[in-house]
Homo-oligomer: A and B are copies of this chain.
Amino acid sequence: MPMIVLFTDFGSDGPYVGQMKAVLAQQAAPETPVIDLLHNAPRFNVRASAHLLAAYISAFPADSVLLGVVDPGVGDPQRKAVAINITGRWYVGPENGLFDVLAARAMAAQEKVTCWEITWRPENLSNSFHGRDLFAPVAARLARGEMPPGVQIDWPVSVAAANDLPEVIFIDHYGNAITGVCARNLSPTACLNIGEQIIMRENTFCKVTEGQVFCYKNANELMEIAINQGNAAHELGLSIGSRIGIHQ
């Protein structure tokens, strides 16, 4: 039984996620788990969101269906609706770059990436809530093992999209600053710097004293800047988009 995983910028406490889940509850098989991965993906920032999604999705089963909506161009009729299969997992959403990092990395690894443009449209399609009206029904259908009406298309993803993003891409609840730098691309002794400030590297929180700034490979294998029992983003003045350096 596949699960449906939600990744949006809708906000977790507003009225949008529930409406989308009502569609999924009606149209997916009743026992399909629907999991909220993130509903505060960086707003209007598809690039940071794409790097976050690429890191987080590996925590989910290989046959998950990912429904992803982070869209600065809401309601653009020119924008295609796509269902992309990357290494066996389905990704559904607007074609706007959210899946590019994943796809470019899969292609670089010689894995299979295929893209369908979804031509199916619901009877009632609002101008502004395609997540509910279009993408949720498509995700439900894919989770049932059916292919919605569509045509396979070429999908020219830039090779450069596979590269790390040396920026802060998320600030979590603790104030930890997650970067778009994959730990596997660094030497084990490399650390990060913010301008002139070198951020020492440790394995985890309990290795540093309270109040100490450090960076570490987080549980999704991204380099993250934290303060033990403190708020790194606040203390260091970091926000989404802050540039990060790599100090070999």
Chain A interface residues toward B at CB < 8 A: 1, 3, 5, 9-19, 21-22, 25-26, 30-31, 33, 35-40, 43-44, 52, 56, 59-61, 64, 72-77, 126-129, 132-133, 170, 172-174, 203-207, 216-220, 229
CB-CB under 8 A for A219 and B37, given A11-B172, A74-B205, A203-B75: no
Number of copies: 3
Contact A204 B127, beta carbon cutoff 8 Å:
yes
CB-CB under 8 A for A60 and B13, given A75-B205, A206-B74: no
Of B1, B19, B37, the residue contacting A18 (CB under 8 A) is B37
10 contacts between A and B (CB under 8 A): A3-B22, A5-B22, A12-B12, A13-B38, A13-B39, A15-B37, A15-B38, A15-B56, A18-B36, A26-B61
Contact A76 B38, beta carbon cutoff 8 Å:
no
Chain A contact residues: helix, strand, loop or mixed: loop
How far apart are A157's CB and chain B's nearest CB, in angstroms?
23
User: Inside 8 A of A173's CB, which chain B residues have their CB?
Assistant: 9-11, 13-14, 16, 40
How far apart are A191's CB and chain B's nearest CB, in angstroms?
16
CB-CB under 8 A for A229 and B61, given A30-B31, A39-B13: no
Contact A170 B15, beta carbon cutoff 8 Å:
yes
Contact B128 A216, beta carbon cutoff 8 Å:
yes
User: Inside 8 A of A22's CB, which chain B residues have their CB?
Assistant: 3, 5, 33, 35, 59-61, 64
User: Inside 8 A of A75's CB, which chain B residues have their CB?
Assistant: 203-207
Of B43, B59, B132, the residue contacting A19 (CB under 8 A) is B59
How far apart are A103's CB and chain B's nearest CB, in angstroms?
21
